[in-house]
Amino acid sequence: MLKVNDINVFYGNIQALKGVSLEVNEGEIVTLIGANGAGKSTLLKTLSGLLKPKQGTIEYLGSSIAGKQAQSIVKAGISHVPEGRRVFANMTVEENLELGAYLRKDKDGIAKDLQRVFELFPRLLERRKQQSGTLSGGEQQMLAMGRAIMAKPKLLLLDEPSMGLAPLMVKTIFSIVKEINKEGTTILLVEQNAHMALSVADRAYVIETGRVVLSGTAKELKETEQVKAAYLGGL
Ligand code: ATP
């Protein structure tokens, strides 16, 4: 579904991605794990059209999307849930969700997906009229994911959904990630919480200072000494 081949991405003179290649197949949950500053968010921003690779190719469903406008990438079925959630604080939960569908015209489909989001996240249904800025961190994460689902993505890019959340909320969020995937959405998940990420993913890539240094099935990586020592707290 997605083939990233040898991309280089720069911020001015600083090279954040150095020859990164990876693949996501339809139906998978693929995770990209790595420490702070490794380049994970940069990769997602490049996939969603916020940054342009200086070199390399990005193929999505057989077409090149490298350097395309973010809006046309959303239209093609890629939705990005950014780090830090970025919900519109002064708008209600429902208004934020409706905004996720701004490029769609199929009213019936939009109404159906709103119901689906409320089924996945009953907490959002309870709070549909509440100002989003007053939600808890976990609820804002739910809202950001719900808003992305409203765009009807084929591929969902999730940037550190567990960040800053209590362990119970992290569990809830990850079980919903699984659920969304089961219903047919392919997922590329960026995480610092390698333990949780490897427990839900089919395959994984490890990124260090802008380079992919390891890849394999989640099961294989969980048992790799290097991953255990650096990302699983020696477990
Ligand atoms: P984090 O979890 O901290 O977001 P990350 O793996 O997502 O980490 P990136 O945010 O992709 O890392 O950053 C990769 C590198 O690019 C880092 O060295 C970072 O300092 C640098 N970088 C990120 N954004 C910018 C920017 N806007 N301008 C300059 N350098 C940047």
Instruction: Give dist(CA 219, CA 202) in Å, integer.
Output: 8
Cα 7 to Cα 54, 59, 70, 212, 228: the distances in Å are: 7, 11, 18, 11, 27
* Nearest CA residue ID for atom 1, ligand 1: 36
Give the distance, in angstroms, between the CA of residue 50 and the centroid of all CA atoms in the same chain.
Answer: 14
Could you tell me the CATH number of the domain that includes residue 11? 3.40.50.300
The whole domain housing 119 covers: 86-152+162-183
Cα 65 to Cα 4, 89, 154: the distances in Å are: 10, 31, 15
Q: Are residues 93 and 179 in the same domain?
A: yes
ipTM of the complex: 0.92
Q: Are residues 118 and 169 in the same domain?
A: yes
pLDDT tens-digit profile of 51-83?
Answer: 999 999 999 999 999 989 999 999 999 999 998
Number of folded domains in the chain? Answer: 2
In a domain? residue 44: no
Is 20's C-beta closer than 6 angstroms to any atom of ligand 1? no
First-to-last alpha carbon distance for the chain, in angstroms, is 33
* Nearest CA residue ID for atom 25, ligand 1: 11
* Nearest CA residue ID for atom 21, ligand 1: 16
Q: Are residues 174 and 233 in the same domain?
A: no
Q: How far is the CA of 37 from the centre of ligand 1 (A)?
A: 5
Q: Are residues 90 and 24 in the same domain?
A: no
pLDDT tens-digit profile of 14-54?
Answer: 999 999 999 999 999 999 999 889 999 999 999 999 999 99
